[in-house]
Amino acid sequence: MRQVRMLMRGLVRRCPRCGSSGIFSSWFGLRDVCPRCGLQIEREDGYWVGAMTISVVSTMLLFVVLMAVAVIWTWPNLPVVELIAGGVVGSIVFPIVTYPICKSLWLATDLAFFHVEAGKLPSSAE
């Protein structure tokens, strides 16, 4: 259950290792190191592709679910213009607002399932 606790901490923008809320300096500003436990947060180039993947996949899932609900709810008189406008705006705003959560969730996923911490990466250990 250690992994679940780490993922839950990531979902609420906390350090996955110690639970500190200080890993963000602002909504979008991520510190280089956790101020409580010293977990290295800033990583090599390309590390945050996992966070972008979480962001894209969660946005697509939300889009599909909300469109299905809207189509079922309004059938057979679909408000096509409103659905398209809502879909476009939601697909732009949602990933921007939730990107910090995706970053802390990716950090937690990486730590919980791959046990990778900066300085202990397989490529840098050799």
- Nearest to Zn ion of 6, 34 (CB atom): 34
CA distances in angstroms from 34 to 44, 67, 92, 93, listed in the order given: 16, 39, 30, 28
Which amino acid belongs to residue 60?
M
Q: Find out whether 51 and 102 touch, Cβ atoms under 8 Å.
A: yes
- Nearest to Zn ion of 35, 90 (CB atom): 35
- 108 is a site residue for Zn ion (CB under 5 A): no
Q: Find out whether 67 and 118 touch, Cβ atoms under 8 Å.
A: no
- Nearest to Zn ion of 37, 61 (CB atom): 37
Shortest approach of Zn ion to residue 23 CB, angstroms?
Answer: 7
Residues contacting 23, CB < 8 A, separation 6+: 13, 14, 15, 30, 31, 34, 35, 39, 41, 104
Within 44-63, the residues that bind Zn ion by CB under 5 A are none
Q: Binding mask 1-40 vs Zn ion (x if CB under 5 A, - otherwise)?
A: --------------x-xx-x-------------x-xx-x-
- Nearest to Zn ion of 17, 95 (CB atom): 17
Instruction: Kindly state the tokens that stand for 51.
Output: 């966070």
Q: What is the binding site for Zn ion (CB under 5 A)?
A: 15, 17-18, 20, 34, 36-37, 39
